[in-house]
Every structure is written in structure tokens, then in C-alpha cells.
Amino acid sequence: MPEAPAKPPEVSQPAVIYFAKSGKEINCDGQQFILDIAEREGVNIPSSCRSGTCGTCKQKLLEGEVKYEGEPEALEDSDREQGLILTCISHPVGRVAIDA
């Protein structure tokens, strides 16, 4: 019986984060958390737990899509309806704009 083809390694897709209030546009590999990138670039986003449970790092997603690492426990349905995301556990998918 022939072997199944090997699964190709997961390749990170390039991403861009635009921080609207600070006017900074950052190219990244899409693997880092948005909060970590913001801190590295001097964009102030309040934070606390860094695990998606407190909600301190909520920010409005103005454009694009994010994927979460873990369950965003601190996001209520009303938060999602307003377009809020948890930056501490979210990765950008393609181009995103954040109101920060």
C-alpha cells in the first residue's frame, strides 16, 4: 500500500496590522499576538491576564479578520456584535485594522 503524502509544513502567511489611532502600519508573519506586536511598536493597549479571560485588552477591529489562540472567554456576544477583539490571544489574518 502506498504511503500517504506527507503533510506540508504550515507556512505562516504574511500579515499587516494597521493601528488607526497611532497611525502605525506593521508587517508581520501572522504568528505573533496583536498585543505583543503593539507593545513592541510602542502602541499603548492596556492588558492584564494575557490569556483571554479578563477583557482588559479589548479593542475594536475596524477591518479584517483575526484567529484566536484559545477561547476568548472575556468576549460577550454584545462585544462581538460591536466588533471587539481580545488582542492578547488574537493573530492577524491578512490585513487588519485595529482602533488603537
Domains by residue range for the chain, with CATH: 15-98 (3.10.20.30)
Confidence band of 8 (pLDDT split at 50, 70, 90): very low
Q: What is the pLDDT of residues 14-47, one digit of tens each?
A: 999 999 999 999 999 999 999 999 999 999 999 9
Q: Which pTM does this prediction carry?
A: 0.86
Tell which wins on pLDDT, 6 or 44.
Answer: 44
Relative to beta strand 24-28, strand 15-19 is: antiparallel
Residues of the chain above pLDDT 90, percent: 85
Rounded Cα distance, 63 and 67, in Å: 13
